[in-house]
Amino acid sequence: MKYTVSLNGQEFNLRVTGFLEIQTDSGARQTIDLVPLDANRYSAIIGTKSYVFELFTENGEKFLVYKNHTLPLLIEDEHDRLVSHMKQVNKDHPTGADVKSPMPGLISRILVSEGEIVKKGQAVLVLEAMKMENEVKSPLAGQVSRIAVSEKQNVEKNDFLLRIG
């Protein structure tokens, strides 16, 4: 089966040709020694080099952790590739974004109102968590089209806070 693997922004076209065997674009075949450990971690020996890495997903996105570095990971087969290509066409022209809560906490202040034009990186509200006041910033420039929370409201991680655009 043919895959496109994107890791840390680098893309690799790989074909799975047998159990733990892959073929690269150049036609070279490689067998790796891969053993699952605990908690989604793996031990891999490639050639004679030894690696331990962890895989996890968050909000539907995959990540690989190597020596505490968290790297974005995307693995697509030919079918996935076609679907994501079509999605990308729309994604190239972002018109808005949902701002979600980065952590559980209390909305201590809302700094913008509906209809207000905000700059990218502008603080839109203040979230209090672990006794610290944290500013939540707008991911892009645009108009605040909807505010879904109010001051003194408790929110969970990833709760929808407001929409820009």
Residues that bind other proteins (CB under 8 A): 1, 3, 5, 7-10, 12, 14, 16, 19-20, 22, 30, 32, 34, 36-42, 44, 46, 49, 51, 53-58, 62, 64-71, 73, 75, 77, 80, 102-105, 108, 126, 128-134, 157
Give me the least distance between CB of 117 and other proteins, in Å please. 20
Give me the least distance between CB of 158 and other proteins, in Å please. 11
Q: Closest CB to other proteins among 12 and 160? A: 12
Apex CA 23: angle with CA 77 and CA 53, to 5°?
A: 75
CA distance 117 to 142: 6
Give me the least distance between CB of 133 and other proteins, in Å please. 6
Give me the least distance between CB of 152 and other proteins, in Å please. 12
What are the contacts of 154-158 at 24+ separation with CB within 8 A?
Answer: 154/104, 154/105, 154/106, 154/107, 155/101, 155/104, 155/105, 155/106, 155/107, 155/127, 156/101, 156/104, 157/101, 157/102, 157/103, 157/104, 158/59, 158/100, 158/101
Residue appearing with tokens 């995959």: 62
Q: Closest CB to other proteins among 24 and 145? A: 24
Q: Closest CB to other proteins among 89 and 130? A: 130
Q: Closest CB to other proteins among 41 and 146? A: 41
Give me the least distance between CB of 165 and other proteins, in Å please. 21
Q: Closest CB to other proteins among 102 and 165? A: 102
CA distance 43 to 33: 8
